[in-house]
Amino acid sequence: MAKVRNEFELKPNPKSGRYRLISANWKMNLNHLEAIRNVQKLTFLLRPADYSYTEISIHPPFTDLRPLQLLIDSDRMRFRLGAQNCHFEPSGAYTGEISAPMLAKMSVSHVIVGHSERRKYFGESDDMIRAKVGAVFASQMTPIICVGESLEEREEAQTEARIRSQVESALSFLAPELAERCVIAYEPIWAIGTGVSANPTDAQKGALIIRSVFADLWGTGVADKVRIQYGGSVNPSNAAEFMQLDDIDGLLVGGAALDPDSFARIIQA
């Protein structure tokens, strides 16, 4: 049993030695009042054992961060505060953006980087994603880097090539001590928000591809340590089968994390 950040008693997965991480990606949902109610209700639904089984990070919109930080601190809740994005520069003339140091100052510990919705709707390039990973680490936070193939790439048997190029371009500059601290979310684009999740075989295959890229870049020691989440239409009925896979260490949950009841059931699955 290890203590993470002192107050969190967390047990690693006995099979892999890795700590599990289940993350709620709220996307552009829930205002700050709804956010407070949601997290209070989630706390009410979870049992102490749930927190020692897995780390739980909540990634609300930026406007919810400050109220949730106060709530988590004052009620000593055992959630990690997460963000969905950040800018790669620490400050400057970037209207509308939020920097990594600003997030770190607000006790944010995990930042999602390169979500497929950011790549698609906001034109995030591999170069930007690489710079953001560097910025998140420079502020002593953990990046959750999203990778995954589109439906066309899957149909053209390009899944492995796509995942490999996304991981290499985002991370190959990292020293091994940082590489092993990354969290990678394998999120096949065709499974996000569609209600059609990957099947466990595909999820395990995706995770193995990611580990093999890590092994090629930094060796098997690092590849064995990196944590890999599955994301894409996770719900209370399919969560357990993903969590049982050898190479999946957690989940990145969108739609089903908006309802505290269903998110609690995913954690407890």
Residues of the shown chain interacting with ligand PGA in the complex, contacts defined by CB under 6 A: 25, 187, 192-193, 231-234, 252-256
Q: Judged by CB, which is closer to ligand PGA: 204, or 229?
A: 229
Q: Which of 264, 269, 250 is nearest to 45 (CA)?
A: 264
Name 33's Cβ contacts closer than 8 Å, sequence gap at least 6: none
Q: Cβ 23 to ligand PGA, closest distance in Å?
A: 8
Number of Cβ atoms within 10 Å of the Cβ of 158: 14
The span from the first CA to the last CA of the chain, in angstroms, equals 21
Residue in the block written with tokens 């995913």: 266
**Can 187 be counted among the known catalytic residues?**
yes
Give whole-number Cα distances, 65 to 32, 168, 241, in Å. 8, 31, 31
Number of Cβ atoms within 10 Å of the Cβ of 119: 19
Q: Judged by CB, which is closer to ligand PGA: 59, or 205?
A: 59
> For residue 231, what are the β-bridge partners?
252
- Cα 55–chain centre separation: 11
Q: Cβ 58 to ligand PGA, closest distance in Å?
A: 13
Active-site hit among 55, 59, 115, 149: 115
Q: Cβ 115 to ligand PGA, closest distance in Å?
A: 6
Q: Judged by CB, which is closer to ligand PGA: 68, or 234?
A: 234
Q: State the DSSP H helix or E strand holding residue 133, giving kind and residue range, or none if neither.
A: helix 126-138
What's the rounded Cα separation, in Å, for the pair 143 and 183?
A: 6
**Can 180 be counted among the known catalytic residues?**
no
Q: Cβ 136 to ligand PGA, closest distance in Å?
A: 17
Q: Residue of minimal CB distance from ligand PGA?
A: 254
Q: Cβ 221 to ligand PGA, closest distance in Å?
A: 29
Q: Judged by CB, which is closer to ligand PGA: 37, or 120?
A: 120
Q: Judged by CB, which is closer to ligand PGA: 97, or 259?
A: 259
Structure tokens at 2: 């290890």
Q: State the DSSP H helix or E strand holding residue 213, giving kind and residue range, or none if neither.
A: helix 200-218
Instruction: Kindly report the backbone phi and psi dihedral angles of residue 55, in degrees, each rounded to the nearest multiple of 5, phi listed first.
Output: -70, 145
What's the rounded Cα separation, in Å, for the pair 17 and 7?
A: 20
| Catalytic machinery residues | 115, 187
